[in-house]
Structure 1
Amino acid sequence: MIRRSFLVVLGLVAAMPLAAWAQSPLKVVATTGMIADAARQVGGDQVEVKALMGPGVDPHAYRQTRSDIVAMTRADLVLWHGLYLEAQMEEFFHDLGRKRTVVAVAEGIDKSKLRAHDDYADKYDPHVWMTPDLWRDVVVEVQQALTDLRPEAAETFAANAERHLAELDRLSDYAETTLAAVPENNRVLVTAHDAFGYFGRSFGFEVMGIQGISTQSEAGLNRIGELVDILVERKISAVFVESSVSDRSVRALIEGAAAKDHEVNVGGELFSDAMGEEDTYEGTYLGMLDHNITVIAGALGADVPERGMDGRLSAGF
């Protein structure tokens, strides 16, 4: 009897680590904050998510660190953007994909929806997070990747994704209404690099980036001179800096316009390739886009809600 009881207890103890492991969150590593946010929104308490690139980090130039490599090799799932965004890491992800579950979440977007890359043949503009309608496809891809890895939680992932997609639809409606209030002549968006092409296409803005789609492209004196002439000729009075790109070139535009007796001001700082600070509303995808939409519309002549879509932005306008 004692031996039988001992064997039963031993069996229960041996089974405990397996049961605990089965209920433990999936370890997910994502390259950008935007992808990490999508994984958290869809995964809920089923995931433990780490973002490699924090606020202000430029993904075009980022290279994996030793600690990044350790985190990714230990992860259950690695999510990267693709579309040549993480240009310095592509070879690493292809190698890692032979050993771990690695998913490029933007690669599945229908190519007919994408903009051609201005520097690389057969490549596309990777900045799909700039419009909620395109980002929906990424959220669905994240949902599928999590479901494939943990099918027993499929209903949870589906419910979470449906809720988040409804939030994206509401954000899209806010963008349409708010940006439509910008006077037609003011719908010119001048930024440090060409990250807002999808934004411009979706909401009817002409977009001019000092640098190309990648921040690795050079902003030559000729390009700055051309944009200065455009600012002066068209009486454009506001340009925008970006949180993850040096403002040096934007300042050069302002100084060049001033030399021609035309005043240009900084309309605000936009989140282009990275979100806001962690544990803030702007540190979420919804907050990032809410901020950009509200700042752009307000700087270019529209009446905007003081603190954005839901009154949650940290700064008023």
Structure 2
Amino acid sequence: MTNASEPAVRTSIDGPAPKGIRRHGPNGRPGASARLLALLFLGPALFMLLVLVAYPIVHTVWLSLHNADGSRFVGIENYLSMFTAPETRRAILNNAIWVVVAPSAVTAVGLVCAVLTEKVKLGTAFKTVLFMPMAISFLAAGVTFRLVYDENPDRGVLNAVMVGAHDAFAEPSLYHGVTPRTDAPLSQVDGAIVTTSPIVAGTPALIPLLGLPADRIPSIARPAALPQNTSGITGVVWLDFTRGGGGKAGTPDPTESGLPDMVVQALRDGKVVATTTTDGSGRFAFPDLPSGEYQIRLDAANFTEPFAGATWL
């Protein structure tokens, strides 16, 4: 019980203001000295915030309105290019899948698993299988994930299975990666190799190629040789490379290998008029073509790259 004669207990925690600093003005608001003290405490933090956060943001936005070297103002042209690029649309789609589809799928699967753990007869075994991944370290899980989904079929298990299944029905070309000699009258067009100079009867078409490893030379290949019969449109396709050197560039040599089973097409006015394949020495012939000038094309199917599996998101 409090005696009325006793002085009232001071409940305010406000102590005396430091000497020389006035906490409140006449109207109860902080005085100038208090505001100055607050600015002194906040000043360094505000300075660092402006220098390290605000300025870089403003400067980056300003640079984004200029060209690549910053010499010309282009406005929102960079943003238009970015948001119309297929890579950006792909990134947005991937993020949408991750944000919308992934949580929904995880929630649905989680609910199904929760029900199964209580409703199925082998609930204990199901729980063991379900919680087994939690006992595996994140490092081991990451390594396993990488081994399964690596895009290189020589390392990724899933792509290796896909490539094996694909190659069982569609065998890759033996001549993928092969290119014509740069100094030969040949060019590559849409994956095919085409002669750039006209071919006429009596003058064999010489098609020297490079870039075929020795282990991919077909077993039926024989030494390269010029066609024996020069009537009609003829020619030879060979690997213009001799181990240890020797021979003459652009000319078939007995030490060089012909390229058999190469699909060869004769073109006139840009249209295919005849098709044949090379023999073991790389020779081919079109004996029944009318006289005139032709182009010889090695079909793009000869150089099809092997199936490399799927490319993940």
Q: TM-score, normalised by structure 1?
A: 0.23
From the CA coordinates, give the structure whose radius of gyration is larger. Answer: 2
RCO higher in structure (CA 8 A, sep ≥6)? 1
Q: TM-score, normalised by structure 2?
A: 0.24
